[in-house]
Amino acid sequence: MIAIFLQSVLIGYSGAMMPGPMFTYTVDRSIRHGVKTGLIVSLGHSLLDLILVIIIFLGAGKYLSTDMARAIIGLVGGVVLEFLGFGMIKDVYLNKISLDTKDSKSGKQGNMFLAGAVLSASNPYFIIWWSAVGLALIMNAYYTLGIMGIGVFYIGHILADISWFTFVAALVSKTRRLINIKVYKVIIVVLAVCLIAFGVSFFASSIRYISQFFQFQAPLLLLGGTIRSV
């Protein structure tokens, strides 16, 4: 049990600490809303993790790893990231951002929770990881301890995510006091450009998967037409 837990924590950190859309979003919102951002965003991410653990264990992993599934997820993810990125630039341009967090509304917290799930779901690499590495880890935990093993694996995995993103949010929220509004706007624009770049990479991956799908399907369609003509 301890081995499964430690393995899930270490592998969880290896994924959580890699820069990506969720990390970029967490940094942005931490400057605005403080340390609570890391917890809220990672809880939204953890909810999606739980859903994926369940559906992958039930046998859906092979469908999520297909080229067409990756292409669809990448296209949706690209749209989400472009929307967030250009929205951040728009806020800077219209001067709608502030370092004053006293007037932050509770509704923003709900949005951050949803964003944690949406940013994860729209990331094709997240789905690919769960369909490949995650599936192997889930089944290994199940073969070792049954359903309890899956529970231990999941708890270790989400603890890695929650602790890392909470740490990032705490670090950013502490240093925001040293940032003036002009520097803050520059940071927001840089983060927005990063999100837009991630979105472009998602689109590029989707095009590649679509191309691979049709390259695979074309010979099958040609073969099917030949057989029918005979």
CA 18 to chain centre: 11
Per-residue tokens: 90: 């728009």
- Tell me the pLDDT tens digit for each residue of 98-107: 655 454 444 4
For residues 180-197, one letter each, b for 16 or more C-beta atoms within 10 angstroms of the residue's C-beta and e for the rest, the string is eeeebbebbbebbebbbe
| Neighbour count for residue 80 (Cβ, 10 Å) | 21
Query: Rounded to whole angstroms, how far apart are CA atoms 120 and 44?
Result: 9
Q: Shortest CA distance to 121 belongs to which of 23, 26, 45? A: 45
**Residue 37 pLDDT > 80:** yes
Give the max Cα distance, the chain: 77
Say which residue, 119 or 46, is predicted with more confidence: 46
Query: Rounded to whole angstroms, how far apart are CA atoms 166 and 44?
Result: 13
- Tell me the pLDDT tens digit for each residue of 102-155: 544 444 555 889 888 888 887 777 877 777 677 778 888 888 888 899 899 999
How confident is the prediction for the chain on average, in pLDDT? 79
Percent of residues, the chain, with pLDDT higher than 70: 81
pTM for this entry: 0.70
| Number of residues assigned to the chain | 230
CA dihedral for 3, 40, 181, 175, sign (positive or negative): negative
Collapsed DSSP state (helix, strand, coil) of residue 96 = coil
Query: Rounded to whole angstroms, how far apart are CA atoms 9 and 22?
Result: 18
